[in-house]
């Protein structure tokens, strides 16, 4: 693609940076509202219509706050880690079709699914580093928990993600999404359910919000962060949630592709993308609302004893079923 005005608009405004940021903030509001309504609370209500502007207000507040670096902290890591987390998550979005095309059209390639999974893993590692660099006992324990939990669920997550790749016969995310004339959730619902559960752990949501269990270790790895750095970490977490939901969308729900009723297909594809992502976030919040936080040893044990073998079995099952299901794959 030539580097012209359209290129810049796509990268910076839509479906690039500004859109992603605005959408993440909207999802932040959506999450909070859903969670609140499930818990019989109001949720954000006062800033903007129905509290829609609350996340923005929160970030503006954080950005104006004093930014403190602990004297003992590793200054470089402490500064770099939050920024790195945000940029890695945003960068990952460049391989995901949003309005039917990638942000940079035709930039997808065979194997970008693996790249995306690797980027997510690295981004997870920045969270560990941010906790580790702040030399606070709470942060230290939180950081170790990030890593321990990550050891438990990361491999099953990747194995589950390979399932759709087998079905569509491609390792490119946009191809996997495009091939789902019948969404893979209908073909292999069991993979979908298990993927949602492992994703819950990846995103650190209940029952897996162990790395920042507030009643045990205060804020976990973010305990020492304040002001702008905290804002960066928080926005990174928001984008991470959207990214997780997006991954479910492209792997199991047919990505942005859906019926185009009239007019421009790009508008409809964006619409379907947003609807599907919100539906997945709703599901994630629902699971989070009906569970208590587990203990780190329980998670790790359950993952190695149950999730690992199950994920391999599921993958084998998918491979076996693939010839039967292939007529349904577009």
Partner 1 sequence: MTTVKEAVRLLEDKLGNKVMECKTPEPRRTYVLIKSGYHRDAISLLLETLSETGISTITGTDLGNEIELNYHIRCRGSVITIKNRVPKEKPQIMTITDLIPGATLYEREVFDLLGVIFEGHPHLERLVLSDDWPEGSYPLRKDWDPTVLEEDAPNLRGQPSVMNGGDVEGATSPVVNVVMGPQHPALHEPERFSFKIDGEVVVDVEPRLGYVHRGIEKAAERLMFFQDVYLIERICGICNAAHALCFSQAVESIGNIEIPSRARYLRTIIHELNRIHSHLLLLGVTGFELGYETLFQYVWRDREPVLDVMEMITGNRILTDFITIGGVRRDLKPETHEKIKKPMKKLKKRMKFYKNIFEEDPTLRLRTKGVGILKPSSAKKMCVVGPVARGSGISLDIRRDDAYAAYDEIPFNVITYKDCDSWARLMVRVEEVVESIDIINYALDHLPSGPYRVKVPRRQPEGESVSRVEAPRGELLHYVKSDGSAYPYRVKVRSPTLANIISFREIIRGSYIADIPAALISLDPCFSCTDRMSFVEVNNGRKWHWSLEDIKRLKKRS
The DSSP call for residue 50 is G
**Contacts (CB under 8 A) with partner 1, residues 209-268:** 209-210, 213-218
Rounded least distance, CB 199 to partner 1, Å = 17
Nearer to partner 1, 144 or 226 (CB): 144
**Contacts (CB under 8 A) with partner 1, residues 118-147:** 136-138, 140-141, 144-145
From residue 114, alpha-carbon distances to 60, 109, 172, 226, 312 in Å are: 35, 11, 9, 34, 18
Supply 63's token pair. 């950005």
Nearer to partner 1, 112 or 224 (CB): 224
Rounded least distance, CB 230 to partner 1, Å = 16
Residue with tokens 């980027």: 119
Which x/- pattern, by CB under 8 A, does the window 278-297 give for partner 1?
A: -----------xxxxxxxxx
Q: How far apart are CA 126 and CA 132, in angstroms?
A: 10
Supply 240's token pair. 């991470």
Residue 39 binds partner 1 (CB under 8 A): yes
Rounded least distance, CB 74 to partner 1, Å = 17
From residue 220, alpha-carbon distances to 137, 142, 159 in Å are: 9, 4, 28
Q: How far apart are CA 208 and CA 292, in angstroms?
A: 9
Count of residues interacting with partner 1 (CB under 8 A): 31
Nearer to partner 1, 89 or 138 (CB): 138
Structural contact between residues 274 and 186, judged by C-beta atoms closer than 8 angstroms: no
Contacts with partner 1 by CB under 8 A lie at 38-41, 136-138, 140-141, 144-145, 206-207, 209-210, 213-218, 289-298
């Amino acid at each position: 693609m030539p580097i012209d005005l359209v290129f810049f608009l796509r990268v910076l405004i839509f479906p690039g940076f500004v859109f992603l940021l605005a959408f993440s903030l909207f999802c932040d509001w959506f999450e909070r509202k859903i969670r609140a309504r499930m818990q019989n609370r109001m949720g954000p209500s006062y800033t903007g219509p129905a509290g829609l502007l609350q996340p923005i207000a929160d970030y503006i507040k954080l950005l104006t706050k004093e930014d403190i670096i602990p004297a003992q902290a590793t200054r470089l890591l402490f500064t770099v880690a939050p920024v790195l987390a945000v940029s890695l998550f945003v960068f990952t979005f460049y391989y995901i079709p949003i309005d039917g095309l990638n942000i940079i059209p035709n930039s997808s390639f065979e194997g970008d699914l693996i790249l995306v999974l690797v980027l997510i893993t690295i981004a997870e590692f920045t969270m560990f580093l941010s906790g580790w660099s702040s030399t606070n006992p709470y942060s230290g324990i939180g950081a170790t928990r990030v890593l321990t939990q990550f050891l438990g669920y990361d491999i099953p997550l990747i194995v589950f993600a390979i399932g759709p790749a087998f079905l569509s016969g491609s390792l490119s995310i946009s191809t996997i999404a495009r091939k789902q004339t019948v969404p893979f959730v209908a073909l292999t619902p069991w993979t979908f359910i298990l993927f949602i559960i492992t994703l819950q752990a990846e995103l650190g949501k209940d029952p897996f919000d162990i790395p920042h269990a507030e009643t045990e270790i205060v804020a976990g790895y973010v305990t020492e962060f304040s002001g702008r750095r905290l804002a960066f970490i928080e926005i990174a977490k928001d984008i991470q949630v959207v990214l997780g939901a997006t991954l479910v969308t492209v792997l199991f729900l047919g990505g942005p592709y859906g019926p185009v009723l009239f007019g421009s297909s790009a508008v409809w594809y964006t619409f379907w993308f947003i609807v599907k992502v919100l539906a997945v976030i709703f599901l994630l919040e629902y699971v989070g609302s009906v569970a208590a936080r587990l203990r780190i040893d329980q998670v790790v044990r359950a993952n190695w004893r149950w999730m690992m073998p199950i994920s391999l079995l599921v993958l084998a099952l998918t491979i076996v079923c693939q010839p039967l299901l292939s007529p349904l794959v577009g």
